[in-house]
Amino acid sequence: MKQTLLSSLLAALLLLPATGAALHAQTAADTLRHRPTHGIGIDLRPGYVFPTAGFFRGDNAAQSPINTTLGVHLKYAFRFSPQSRLGRLYPSAYQGIGMAWNTFFNADEVGTPSAIYVFQGARIARLAPRLTLDYEWNFGASFGWQKYAPDANFYNNVVGSRINAYINAGLFLNWQLAPQWSLTAGIDLTHYSNGNSNYPNAGVNTVGARIGVMRTFGGSPAEASASTIHTDEPSSLAARISYDVVLYGSTRKRGLFLDSGAELIPGSFAVAGLNFNPMYCVNKYFRAGLSLDAQYDESANLKAHHVEGTSGDGLKFYRPPFREQFAAGLSLRAELNMPIFSVNVGIGRNLIQQGEDTRGFYQILALKAFVTRRLFLHVGYQLHDFKDPNNLMLGLGWRFGKF
């Protein structure tokens, strides 16, 4: 169930670049009257694997460090016409769908994972008439990992799932070679994780270079850059405030250190939560505000209710009271606003809580994919105290307000 939940939510995300333009046309009828620019590109991404576990440092069946990776990416992108509303608001933004094939040069223990993802990027600064500094993020699912198995792959204490989330962010130079051709080169960071839906979940992290080429059809990036940028921003304070309400849920695995040692609790635990997030629109790209966050975690504070003498497959716990598994807090939020997608980050602290597991700070990274102007798909991840993975946040949200 946990793999099906994760993969189905990620698969739904992949449909949004193809449908997002049509859905946004409900509120901006001119968006599709002007044909967008399409593009096909390929990236080559060699990278270095951070040695975050002994498995990567050479404590594996091959008795050799796993410190290099190589990926090949095939991408389809589109950019809204500069004559459309979204093209005028975000003249350099592009988005699309990508596929990747990766190797860590140890297929027996790590696998040769492939990935399907959505991506979005835009210009940060123009450095010369044909040279810009751009950013791009990728988010999707990565398949084909060799996961930990106590009998066949016991050295791999890092990867616990055959399907993992794929998150990537990069900065690069974009050189316009010709009206329809561009060359890119830069650096990026990548993270693979199952969001604590299975153990082990140490995560795989890489840093690397990227070089790519893109061929566009149906328009010219130079044309988009020259278009008039229409801000279309509200003037009154009330019109600048929106209110996002998010309902989410997921499952998670849980391990504890007990008197008998490290124990993996059998089964999975439910997580459900609610965010109420007023946001102030600073400009068309950026929002900031506070969020009231409430979450119920069925696995929270189990350690204090361990049934003495039980361990292994027979590990048992008394059910903790609701007040020990529910927490509510406030978080500071910031959001990058772009067509179809918004990236939301937050840092908060639980104010209503009881027990060690819900004490302290939490951090949130979330992607909002807008199905309509107000309805969005929410895919997020929560950390505890800046280091411990908590849970996925898979759900739906609705945006209230005039803007």
pLDDT digits (tens, 9 = 90+) for 92-112: 999 999 999 999 999 999 999
pLDDT value for 120? 96
Q: Are 303 and 315 in contact (CB under 8 A)?
A: no
The tens digit of pLDDT for each residue in 243-291 reads 999 999 999 988 877 776 677 888 889 999 999 999 999 999 999 999 9
Of 322 and 309, the one with more pLDDT? 322
> 2-226, what's its fold?
Porin (2.40.160)
pLDDT value for 227? 45
The mean pLDDT of 326-351, rounded to a whole number, is 96
The mean pLDDT of 325-350, rounded to a whole number, is 96
> 238-400, what's its fold?
Porin (2.40.160)
Label residue 264 exposed, middle or buried (CB < 10 Å: 0-12, 13-18, 19+). Answer: middle
pLDDT value for 85? 83
Label residue 238 exposed, middle or buried (CB < 10 Å: 0-12, 13-18, 19+). Answer: exposed
Confidence grade of residue 366 (pLDDT, cut at 50, 70, 90): very high
The tens digit of pLDDT for each residue in 166-215 reads 999 999 999 999 989 999 999 999 999 988 888 888 889 999 999 999 99
The mean pLDDT of 63-83, rounded to a whole number, is 94
pLDDT surpasses 60 at 155? yes
pLDDT value for 287? 95
CA distance 91 to 132: 13
Tokens at residue 120, please?
């979005």
Residues of the chain with CATH 2.40.160.20: 2-226, 238-400
